[in-house]
Amino acid sequence: MNAIARAIDALNEGFGRLIAPLLAVITLIVVYDIAMRFFIGRPSDWAFDVTKMLFGAHFMLMAAYGLRHHATWRSTCSSVCCRGASRQRSRSSAT
């Protein structure tokens, strides 16, 4: 079982390193579309659809890599609310 977990971790690491530069490609496409819109006056027909699909693929393929490297974030509201709820549960169970 441990060998399977190591193999999955290695696969996630490889996908993460392979897919991470995709964000630079997305950025270049968006900059190209903005330049076409403001300087030439005619935006491209394909840039929005391509960036939407590439970002979706980037998000899904990088999720496991981000979780493996603890690169996730939580909002202040949810952490404060959950922290308060866990304190109340611990106080009520102690009494």
Distance of alpha carbon 95 from the chain centroid: 42
pLDDT above 70 (res 4): yes
Instruction: Assign 23 a pLDDT band (cuts: 50, 70, 90).
Output: very high
Alpha helix locations (H) across 1-95? Answer: 2-19, 22-35, 47-68, 76-94
Contact 19, 61 (CB under 8 A): yes
Record the pTM: 0.64
pLDDT higher at 62 or 1: 62
d(CA 47, CA 34): 10
Structural domain boundaries in the chain? 2-94
What are the pLDDT digits (tens) for 25-64?
999 999 999 999 999 999 899 999 999 999 998 888 888 8
**Given this model, what pLDDT does residue 26 score?**
95
